Each structure stands twice: as C-alpha cells, then as structure tokens.
C-alpha cells in the first residue's frame, strides 16, 4: 500500500496499541473482521494502512468508535477510567491475521 509523505512508517507502527480479545471479537474474527485498540487521534485510512503494514494483509474497510471510560468508585472517591478508541478492521477475502494464540 502506498504511503503519503506525511505518514511515515514510525507513525503507522504506533497507531495500533493491541488487539482486543473477547468472545465477540473471536466470533467476528472467523468472518475476516478484527478489533484493535488504537491511539485516540488515529483516523480510518491511517488505521487501515497500519494493519496492512504490520500484518501484510489487504484491508477492505475500517470502522472506528470512541469508548467512554467507566466511572469507578474507591471508597468515597469517584474516579473515571480513561476514554479510548476502538477500530474494527475488515480484511479482503483470503486474508487472515494470526495472533499466535492457542499454541
């Protein structure tokens, strides 16, 4: 995939913070869709390029959503977890990502 002059490989390597592992992401993974935790200022095109670069796959589409941090209480004090961003990445048919689980 072609990279713009403003998007260097170092930035793309920092966009993905890690894969999300849950029952839902395992089920959608069988259909060629994967979920990642991403930096809060990443946009769809940048996320797609980062996945293509790191896993050597072709990306069909990206959906991004912001997750609000939960309110938590410790004794009398009330705090809030940090807001974060999640991306669902759909791959083109024939491409898969192996995270190396189940060894």
What residue has token string 């990443």?
42
Contact assessment for residue 37 and residue 86, using Cβ atoms and an 8 Å cutoff: yes
Q: Which domains does the chain have, with CATH numbers?
A: 9-91 (3.30.70.330)
pLDDT tens per residue, range 20-31: 999 999 999 889
**CA geometry: angle 94, 96, 102, nearest 5 deg:** 140
Q: pTM for this one?
A: 0.84
Rounded Cα distance, 61 and 92, in Å: 8
Taken in order 46, 49, 53, 56, is the CA torsion positive or negative? positive
pLDDT in tens, 10-61: 999 999 999 999 999 999 988 999 999 999 999 999 999 999 999 999 999 9
DSSP letter string, 37-77: EE-TT--HHHHHHHHHHHH---EEEEEEEEEPPPEEEETTE
């Amino acid at each position: 995939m072609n990279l713009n002059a403003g998007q260097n490989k170092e930035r793309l390597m920092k966009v993905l913070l890690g894969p999300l592992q849950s029952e839902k992401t395992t089920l959608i993974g069988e259909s060629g869709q994967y979920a990642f935790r991403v930096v809060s200022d990443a946009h769809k095109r940048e996320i797609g390029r980062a996945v293509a670069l790191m896993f050597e796959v072709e990306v069909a589409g990206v959906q991004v959503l912001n997750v609000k941090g939960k309110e938590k209480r410790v004794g009398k004090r009330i705090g809030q977890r940090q807001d974060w961003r999640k991306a669902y990445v759909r791959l083109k048919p024939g491409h898969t990502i192996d995270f190396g689980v189940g060894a």
